């Protein structure tokens, strides 16, 4: 099994020593760099670059620069999607955003994780688990969403939260770690 196949299946893999994954990251990061330096009023070019980067886009979406991701092809965005400045998506696993998702500035979505065992971690091994964000979700600024998290529909995540566990639909959740504080 290749390192990419291990990565996509959620097994431990070594991204640092694999030429295929290295080249895919470089290609994606060059496209992110191109997107981030494209003038804001050149909407067609910006959307074309994002269509090259992302695995699936909708008709109506907007991503502000600066935007960074690892591979891009594992990211899917729904209709009426907005992501504010300085967001990072580490996407060795799938990251799926539903419709009507609004993301504040300086947010991170991290599917990559590292073993707790230092000997395994020091070998350069890591794992990736998906993130799924439902429909009608508002995520405040400076939020971090960790691997293997599902955020339900009709959810508000408060600014500065660190989402380490699933958040059920129809709720407001805040904090570090992020917890439901109100049903809506």
Task: Give the active site residues.
Answer: 114
Q: Which two tokens stand for residue 59?
A: 């008709």
Question: Residue 107: how many CB atoms within 10 A of its CB?
Answer: 23
Question: Residue 1: how many CB atoms within 10 A of its CB?
Answer: 10
- In terms of Cβ atoms closer than 10 Å to its own Cβ (0-12, 13-18, 19+), residue 178 is buried
- Give the dihedral sign, CA 50/147/133/162: negative
Q: Which two tokens stand for residue 158?
A: 């408060």
């Amino acid at each position: 099994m290749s390192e990419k196949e291990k990565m996509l299946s959620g097994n431990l893999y070594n991204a640092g020593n694999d030429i295929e994954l290295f080249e895919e990251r470089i290609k994606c990061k060059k496209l992110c760099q191109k997107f981030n330096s494209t003038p804001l009023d050149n909407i067609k070019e910006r959307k074309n670059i994002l269509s090259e980067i992302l695995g699936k886009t909708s008709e109506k979406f907007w991503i502000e620069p600066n935007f960074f991701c690892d591979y891009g092809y594992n990211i899917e965005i729904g209709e009426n999607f907005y992501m504010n400045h300085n967001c990072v998506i580490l996407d060795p696993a799938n990251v799926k955003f539903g419709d009507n998702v609004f993301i504040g500035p300086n947010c991170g979505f991290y599917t990559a994780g590292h073993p707790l065992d230092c000997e395994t971690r020091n070998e350069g091994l890591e794992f990736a688990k998906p993130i799924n964000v439902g429909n009608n979700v508002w995520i405040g600024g400076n939020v971090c969403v960790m691997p293997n998290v599902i955020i339900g529909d009709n959810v508000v995540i408060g600014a500065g939260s660190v989402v380490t566990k699933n958040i059920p639909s129809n709720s407001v959740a805040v904090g570090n770690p992020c917890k439901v504080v109100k049903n809506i």
